[in-house]
Amino acid sequence: MSTKASTLKAYDKMQEVKNNAVTPIERSLVEASLFKGYRKEKVLACEMLRFELTLKGKDSIQKRLKPYLGDKVTFETMFKADLWAELLKNEVEQIFANPIKDFVFLSKLNAPVIEAFLNKNIKHFATKAILKETLSIIQTKGGLRGLKEHYFEVYQSRQTFYNHQTILKKLAKTIDFSELEDLTASKIHGYLLEQFQIKKSIQNKLL
């Protein structure tokens, strides 16, 4: 996830840890990785995810750190303060706890399953048509970011996108997405939220 103000990356760190295991936890993970399937305490692990947040530019840094440091954002205060874990958590929350993320999971299913799901949960013809178009854009444009860029490009209006998003948020609260809980993506998604201790009512169906 990258914007002009910040970049959030998630990548596999297992090989790096194997090459330079320092802490006891890192050494135990490397030892566990020698077993087929990376068995560790009866948990199957395929990779070690590292999340990395980069803030770009002086204005962006000051804006993001102001809630924690006020107007006294200096190298001394930002590296002394225990705030980076909270900053990373907030960034993950903004992305992974998106209120319309369930539509992304839905878009990963094949057409007949999507059609059956919409027929079951949506009775209004116009609403169903809007959702079909939205799911199609998510599929072809690359997720929620692609959906946002599509609306900006077609309608050349941020407000149009925000109005559309508001409608989807309200609609998401009326739909039972529990059928999606068996999807691997939704389980991983829920696990990440749990690890960052991000708990919201809209996420309960996926945890």
pLDDT tens column, 133-167? 999 998 898 888 888 888 888 888 888 888 888 88
Pair 91, 132 in one domain: no
Domain count, the chain: 2
pLDDT over 70 (residue 28): yes
Pair 80, 129 in one domain: no
Pair 90, 105 in one domain: no
Pair 83, 114 in one domain: no
Pair 202, 105 in one domain: yes
Between 207 and 60, residue with greater pLDDT:
60
Pair 66, 108 in one domain: no
Q: Which of 185, 192, 8 is nearest to 91 (CA)?
A: 8
Pair 155, 178 in one domain: yes
Give the separation between CA 10 and CA 1, rounded to whole angstroms. Answer: 9
Give the separation between CA 192 and CA 179, rounded to whole angstroms. Answer: 20
Is residue 1 a part of any domain in this protein? no
Range of 19's domain?
A: 6-96
Write out pLDDT tens, residues 73-98: 888 888 776 788 888 888 777 777 77
Pair 107, 202 in one domain: yes
Residue 138, number of CB atoms within 10 A of its CB? 21
- Three-state DSSP at 72 gives coil
Residue ending a domain, choose from 32, 66, 96: 96
Pair 42, 136 in one domain: no
pLDDT over 80 (residue 132): yes
Pair 116, 196 in one domain: yes
The pLDDT score that the predictor gives to residue 180 is 73
The pTM of this model reads 0.56
pLDDT over 70 (residue 25): yes
pLDDT over 60 (residue 201): no
Pair 84, 24 in one domain: yes
Cβ–Cβ < 8 Å for 61, 16: no
Is residue 74 a part of any domain in this protein? yes
The pLDDT score that the predictor gives to residue 202 is 45
The pLDDT score that the predictor gives to residue 173 is 85
The pLDDT score that the predictor gives to residue 16 is 81
Average pLDDT of the chain is 78
The pLDDT score that the predictor gives to residue 207 is 32
Residue ending a domain, choose from 96, 115, 146: 96
